[in-house]
Amino acid sequence: MTETLTFLLSGTLLAGTPLLIAALGELVTEKSGILNLSVEGMMAVGAIFAFMVVTGGGSYWVALAAGGMAALVVAALFAVVVIFTLANQVAAGLAVGILGLGLAGLIGDPFEAQTVPPMPKLPIPGLAGLPVLGRGLFDHVPVVYLAPVLALATWLMLTRTRLGLLLRSAGENPDAANSIGINVRFVRFCATLYGGFCAGVAGGFISVVSATLWADGIIAGRGWIVVALVVFGTWRAGRIAIGAYLFGLATLSGLLVQTTGVAIPSQLLTSIPYIVTIVAIALLSMNPKLTWLNAPVSLGQPYLPTK
């Protein structure tokens, strides 16, 4: 029983961390008014670049940063297409996402099914020795501890800083922002790059920390769950964090059910996160007020400054 609980806590954090990191990045992008649907592709690109760095003998931190930078380049392509050539953001997101998945598969072809050693853990002194909770919560790689800190920082940035005001103004009313001298396209461009970087780090986390292997299609729809998480969290960092860990837990439910010995088709268990996503989106979209108060008004609409 305690084993199961420890496994659940630890597994939830491990599965929830990449979702949270990528979703916080997407949150910043969306707050600026850009809907980036290419998260799946950006995560895949991040995953393969991080994997190559570790395979080539680089450190895990360098690997995650490389994953982030590679995905940032992909995000830059998306940003140029939607911000400067004013493309439809849904179509452009799908397009760049497909391109990212294809590139990741192509670059990763020679690495298919290779593995890397796990990233060293950093048990927190004192806390890691606690029964159940210690190994569940405080015996992880450092990135796992940093993710909730990033959520807090994102929340503070959006609500308490001038940078947050700039982002939100560009997303709420780009015309007004332009008229008071804010460079809306620049703000949106940077926010999109940042979102790409986060997606890349998250993808890298999946390939070199949690899975420790490369396989084509390793992201397996997580990029779309990330997009759903932002909707689920009604564009608020705190709710997104809760959502990310809940989804992390949902991905474990399969393993959990198997331990109880009940015979359920494995395919149904694999489907649980997707089903949970659909139900969560439906329930949270029911209340338009929640969305109205937090969703960026101009989300997904091309913006052409009056010049």
Partner 1 sequence: MALLELCGITKSFGAVTAAQSLDLSIQPGEIHAILGENGAGKSTLMKIIYGVLQADAGTMSWDGQPLHIENPAQARAYGIGMVFQHFSLFETLTVAENVALSSGVSVARATTHIERSGARFGLEIPAAAKVHALSQGERQRVEIIRALMGDPKLIIMDEPTSVLAPTAIPGFFGIVRDLAAAGCAVLFISHKLSEIRTLCHTATVMRRGQIVATVDPTETSQADLARLMIGRDIPHPKRAVATVSDTPILKVTDVTVADDNPFGTTLKDVSLTVHGGEIVGIAGISGNGQQLLAHVLSGEIPLSPGQGDIVFDGRPVGRHGVAERRAAGLAYVPEDRQAQGSVPELSLTENALLTGHMAGLIQHGLIRRAAATAFSERCIDDMDVRCAGTGAEARSLSGGNLQKFIVGRELALTPRLLIAAQPTWGVDIGAAQAIHQKLVDLRQDGLGVLVISDELDDLLEISDRIHVMFRGQLSASIPRAEAREDVIGALMAGSFAEAVAAS
Partner 2 sequence: MIRIEPRTRAPGLWAAVPPVLAVLATILASTVILNILGVPPLDALHYLYVAPFSSRFNFAEVLLKMAPLLIIAQALAIGFRARIWNIGAEGQLILGAIGGSLLPVAFNDSVNPLMLPAMAAIGMVFGMGWAAIAAWLRTRFNANEILVTLMLNSIALQLLYYLVSGPLRDPYGYNFPQSALFPDVAMLPTLISGTRANSALIVALAATLLAWGLTQRSFVGFRLRVGGLAPGAARYAGFSEHRAIWMALLIGGGAAGLAGVFEVAGPLGQLQRVVTPGYGFAAIIVAFLGGLNPVGILAASFFMAVIYVGGDVAQTAAGVPHTVNLVLQGVLLVTYVAARVFTDYQVTWSQRAKA
Which residues, 6+ apart, have CB-to-CB distance to 47 below 8 Å? 67, 104, 203, 204, 206, 207, 214, 218, 219
Which residue, 6 or 251, has its beta carbon nearer to partner 2?
251
- Number of residues forming the site for partner 2 (CB under 8 A): 48
Which pair of structure tokens corresponds to residue 198? 């986060």
Give the Cα separation of 53 and 86 in Å (integer). 35
CB of 58 to partner 2, least distance (A): 23
User: Tokens 């396209």 identify what position?
Assistant: 185
Q: How many Å apart are CA 57 and CA 52, to the nearest integer? A: 9
Binds partner 2 by CB under 8 A, chosen from 48, 95, 144, 190: 95
**Can you tell me the distance from the alpha carbon of 286 to that of 34, in angstroms, rounded to the nearest whole number?**
23
Residue 175 sits in the site that holds partner 1 (CB under 8 A): yes
Please report how close the Cβ of residue 300 comes to partner 2 at its closest, in angstroms.
Answer: 10
Q: Does 180 bind partner 1 (CB under 8 A)?
A: yes
Alpha carbons 78 and 91: distance in angstroms, whole number = 11
Q: Does 37 bind partner 2 (CB under 8 A)?
A: yes
Shortest separation between residue 195's beta carbon and partner 2, angstroms: 17
Are 224 and 44 contacting, i.e. CB atoms less than 8 angstroms apart?
A: no
Helix (H, G, I), strand (E, B) or coil at 289: helix
Among 57, 162, 282, 289, indicate the residue that binds partner 2 (CB under 8 A).
Answer: 282
Contacting residue, 172, 185, 242, 302, with partner 1 by CB under 8 A:
172
Contact between 188 and partner 1 (CB under 8 A)?
no
Q: What HEC string does 195-255 produce?
A: HHHHHHHHHHHHHHHHCCECCCCCCCCHHHHHHHHHHHCCCCHHHHHHHHHHHHHHHHHHH
Q: How many other C-beta atoms can be found within 10 angstroms of the C-beta atom of residue 110?
A: 10
Helix (H) or strand (E) holding 139: strand 139-140
The span of 120-128, 131-139, 196-204, 287-295 binding partner 1 (CB under 8 A) equals 287-295
Q: Which residue in 24, 28, 15 sits closest to 250, CA to CA?
A: 15
Binding positions for partner 2, 104-163, rule CB under 8 A: 105-106, 109
Least CB distance to partner 1 at residue 307 (A): 7
- Identified binder of partner 2 from the candidate list 127, 152, 156, 304, rule CB under 8 A: 304
Q: HSE of 248 in the Cβ direction (CA atoms, 13 Å)?
A: 25
Q: Does 285 bind partner 1 (CB under 8 A)?
A: no
Interaction site with partner 2 (CB under 8 A):
37, 41, 77, 80-81, 85-88, 90-92, 94-103, 105-106, 109, 216, 221, 224, 227-228, 231, 265, 267-268, 270-271, 274-275, 277-278, 281-283, 285-286, 288, 304, 307
Interaction site with partner 1 (CB under 8 A):
162, 165-166, 168-169, 172-173, 175-177, 179-182, 288-289, 292-293, 306-307
